[in-house]
Amino acid sequence: MKYYALSGRPSKRKAFVVTVIITIITSFLFYHMIKLHNAHNTAIDFYQRRVASLEKRILVLEKKIAQYQYDLNEQITVIGDVMQGSLSMEARKQMNGVRRVLQSLAAPRFKHRPETSHLDCRRLFHEDKQYIAEVTRARIELIESSVLDMDCDAVRWRVLPRLQPPTIKYGIAFARIVYTDYEFLEEQLQVNYSPENHYCYHVDSKSPAVFKERMANLSSCLPNVYLTDEVLEIDGRVGTNMNFAHMACLKLLEKKGTWEYVVLQQNHDVVIRTNEELKHIFQALNGSNDVQINPCSSYFCDKSLTWDAESLDVFQGSGFRPSSEALRTPLFLVKGAVQVSLTRKAVEWLNRINLTKLISQFNSGRRFFEVLAKNNLTQD
């Protein structure tokens, strides 16, 4: 007995038994966790398939509603034509009542996203300060759909206008750098889509794979939506490679159809003017570029570097022959917003000169260099 007590064999056996029991319990729990996880994934897959099926049914119903609205508008037109003729006061009154009812039925309805379905837009539009304060306390975040129907039929239905928009005989191009929130981008495209316009997107190379796939699908479904081929990693915090990305779009857009001005954008920019309004604005500019220009301090621009066109090889291989004095004159460095509007002639000029060294130098150690290159090159 003393031997066994001194040798510690009973305690070793107990430890072994405890270890075996813990291992069995852990294995049992791990098995059931995996089983629950698999069951959870199976349930998610089932509900995702159901949601996808429901979305397709909703698409069919929306198309039927659109057809009914089209038919109603035709009836409204017919009633309007009839009312132009000679009718009794009573008949005219009845026809006018019918027309008002049809107009109410044919009127477009605003469709909330699920995330904003709880909002009372009426109170927001009437500037209810108490309600606005309640809403702003909890910022609404966009929740991406994992089962968004990306068939071209569905994409075109979401983007293209229900009725053929009037032509304004004025093409506008848009160059946007993107990395997230596909549904937001699709909705923004829908807001100002026109077959007369051209839309170029540069997708950040580090974007999620599903986002890249959706953007590629968007481009393949619409003839005037393009993606650049360049692979560039964008750092939106300080602007790394943003100028190169926009330049990639400008080179692509120059070859695409006829347009008068191009608007440079970032991912979450919102266009608040109609195409008709943009046309009038650009016509008023009369060939000028819309570029913000502010003095560039040493915090943004490293003025210890050489900033003349000759040192930066700006005109190398371009065919332009500035004077020696002009080549050696330092650029007047300025800064401004990324969002600029450039004429087609300005874009053609930018695409002919060599900007590689200039943009790379802007990218070398100062902040917010995406705002610099276009502003310096278009200030004249």
> Degrees (nearest 5) of the Cα angle 168, 173, 174?
130
pTM: 0.75
Q: Minimal CA–CA distance to 266: which of 158, 370, 349, 155?
A: 370
Task: Check whether residue 115 and residue 104 sit in a common domain.
Answer: no
- 304 residue type, one letter: S
Q: Minimal CA–CA distance to 234: which of 248, 253, 251?
A: 248
Task: Check whether residue 104 and residue 116 sit in a common domain.
Answer: no
Last residue of a domain, one of 141, 164, 190: 141
Task: Check whether residue 46 and residue 191 sit in a common domain.
Answer: no
Task: Check whether residue 28 and residue 162 sit in a common domain.
Answer: no
Q: Are 106 and 69 in contact (CB under 8 A)?
A: yes
Spatial distance between the Cα atoms of 359 and 354, rounded to a whole number of angstroms = 10
Last residue of a domain, one of 50, 85, 109: 109
Task: Check whether residue 74 and residue 216 sit in a common domain.
Answer: no
Tokens of 379: 């200030």
Burial group, residue 343, by CB count within 10 angstroms (0-12, 13-18, 19+): buried
> What element of type H or E holds 4?
helix 2-7
Spatial distance between the Cα atoms of 153 and 217, rounded to a whole number of angstroms = 11
Q: Give the pLDDT confidence score for residue 242 in this predicted structure.
A: 87
SS3 10: helix
* Residue-range definition of the domain harbouring residue 132: 110-141
Q: Give the pLDDT confidence score for residue 196 in this predicted structure.
A: 97
Task: Check whether residue 185 and residue 123 sit in a common domain.
Answer: no
Q: Give the pLDDT confidence score for residue 201 in this predicted structure.
A: 98
Task: Check whether residue 241 and residue 338 sit in a common domain.
Answer: yes
Task: Check whether residue 244 and residue 357 sit in a common domain.
Answer: yes
The CATH number for 331's domain is 3.90.550
Task: Check whether residue 95 and residue 156 sit in a common domain.
Answer: no
Residue pLDDT tens, the chain, 380 long? 444 444 556 667 777 778 888 888 888 888 878 878 777 777 777 766 777 777 778 778 877 887 887 788 888 888 888 888 888 888 888 888 988 998 888 887 777 888 888 899 999 999 999 999 999 898 888 888 888 999 999 999 999 988 777 899 999 999 999 999 999 999 999 999 999 999 999 999 999 999 999 999 999 999 999 999 999 988 776 677 888 999 999 999 999 989 999 999 999 999 999 999 999 999 999 999 999 988 887 777 777 788 888 888 888 878 787 888 888 888 888 888 889 999 999 999 999 988 888 888 877 655 544 444 554 555 44
Task: Check whether residue 193 and residue 243 sit in a common domain.
Answer: yes
Q: Give the pLDDT confidence score for residue 333 in this predicted structure.
A: 81
Tokens of 232: 């560039």
Half-sphere exposure (Cβ direction) of 28: Cα atoms closer than 13 Å: 6
DSSP string, 12-71: HHHHHHHHHHHHHHHHHHHHHHHHHHHHHHHHHHHHHHHHHHHHHHHHHHHHHHHHHHHH
> What element of type H or E holds 356?
helix 356-362
- 117 residue type, one letter: S
Residue ranges of E strands in the chain: 172-178, 198-203, 225-227, 261-265, 294-295, 334-335, 341-343
Q: Are 226 and 307 in contact (CB under 8 A)?
A: no
Q: Give the pLDDT confidence score for residue 220 in this predicted structure.
A: 98
Q: Give the pLDDT confidence score for residue 380 in this predicted structure.
A: 47
Total domains in the chain come to 3
Last residue of a domain, one of 60, 93, 109: 109
Task: Check whether residue 77 and residue 129 sit in a common domain.
Answer: no
Task: Check whether residue 160 and residue 286 sit in a common domain.
Answer: yes
